[in-house]
Structure 1
């Protein structure tokens, strides 16, 4: 069985696209079934690499949802940052620490 390198296969496929499989086989002295098999493999590889429209729409919807969630998280962080800034402006750090330790359970690891 004769083995063909990748470059030869690629050029044979290009030629068969231009002039047809039968004529390309005659010019290149390649068995019709061999060239037809290469063409079929190329089609299968192309299909594997392509996403369907449904896949693209599904991914698009997922990404839109993720963007909305991230925007919401950013908004919450911005609001919290504003709250903390206003709190610091209104009270001294010492007052905030005293408030936290006297009204909230402090949890930490102690040895």
Structure 2
């Protein structure tokens, strides 16, 4: 004979996160089977809780690793910005010196007409990087 199907379902028991933590600690101490018997739980519940807890820990570890990587990249970017600023200042300085030496060696005086004109210097750089253009007025 078949058993008549029940139309009402048993309500599921909701366990608090604190209870789950304590149950997992107990399972760690005395074993999953013993803890399940003592707490009137199924072993599978404890295994599921443990796997969910491990997944949460691993995701928080990933977040920590990513935040450390972001911090490292920000420091690296700040260093590159500082290096670029130094290079731009040096390029400006040397371009001005070059302009002065060119004008003094040829005894060329800049007239009021040529002063607004810009002199462009393109500094040689390694292949694959962008050069720095300096404008002197």
The bucket for the TM-score relative to the shorter chain is 0.5 to 0.7
Q: Answer with 1 or 2: which has the greater Rg.
A: 2
**RMSD (Å) for aligned C-alpha atoms:** 3.7
Looking at secondary structure, tell me which structure has more strand per residue: 2
Identify the residue that residue 60 of structure 2 maps to in structure 1: 49
Looking at secondary structure, tell me which structure has more helix per residue: 1
Ranked by relative contact order (alpha carbons within 8 Å, sequence separation 6 or more), the top structure is 2
The number of equivalent residue pairs is: 87
> TM-score when scaled to structure 2?
0.46
List 4+ stretches of structure 1 deviating above 4 A: none
Question: CA distance change for structure 1 residues 99 and 15 in 2, over 3 Å: closer, same or farther?
Answer: farther
Question: CA distance change for structure 1 residues 34 and 75 in 2, over 3 Å: closer, same or farther?
Answer: same
Question: CA distance change for structure 1 residues 13 and 79 in 2, over 3 Å: closer, same or farther?
Answer: same
1:69 aligns with 2:69: no
Structure 2 unaligned regions, length at least 5: 1-11, 101-109, 119-137
SS at match of 2:18: helix
Match of 1:29 among 30, 40, 62: 40
